[in-house]
């Protein structure tokens, strides 16, 4: 089972908006890592859910996604700024309802 939603959003740092029209990807899936956080076949735990929040290096535009690094402020070992955000939330995630918010 995988549920997801993509939308445009703003990024705030210390209460100040630093970027907007970001693509936000939210996905709920069964747990895909074992107790040692290793990913692989045969480790899925269908009774446990995890939530993924990702912001790829792209922005929303009327013509579709356009390349744009996320201003993360995280510097990589090679000196470049990390251009995306991906966070997993583990634990006791619980879903209620059967549809996502629709603004229309």
Helix/strand number for the chain, H first, E second: 0, 6
Domain boundaries, the chain: 2-89
Residue 44: what pLDDT? 74
Residue 99: what pLDDT? 57
Q: What is the pLDDT of residues 12-40, one digit of tens each?
A: 878 888 889 999 888 887 777 777 877 77
Are 24 and 56 in contact, with CB atoms under 8 Å apart? no
Cα–chain center distance at 25: 5
Low-confidence ranges of the chain (pLDDT < 50): 1-6
Spatial separation of the C-alpha atoms in residues 31 and 35, rounded to whole Å: 10
User: Which residue is associated with the tokens 């970027």?
Assistant: 19
Q: Is the pTM of this model over 0.75?
A: no
Spatial separation of the C-alpha atoms in residues 37 and 31, rounded to whole Å: 10
Residue 76: what pLDDT? 96
Percent of the chain with pLDDT over 70: 80
């Amino acid at each position: 089972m995988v549920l997801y939603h993509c939308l445009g959003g703003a990024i705030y740092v210390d209460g100040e908006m630093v970027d907007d029209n970001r693509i936000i990807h939210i996905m709920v899936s069964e747990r895909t890592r074992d107790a040692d956080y290793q990913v692989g076949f045969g480790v899925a735990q269908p009774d446990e859910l995890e939530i993924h929040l990702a912001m790829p290096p792209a922005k929303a535009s009327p013509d579709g996604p356009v390349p744009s690094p996320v201003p993360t402020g995280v510097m990589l070992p090679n000196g470049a700024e990390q251009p995306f955000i991906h966070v997993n939330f583990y634990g006791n995630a619980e879903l209620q309802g059967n549809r996502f918010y629709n603004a229309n």
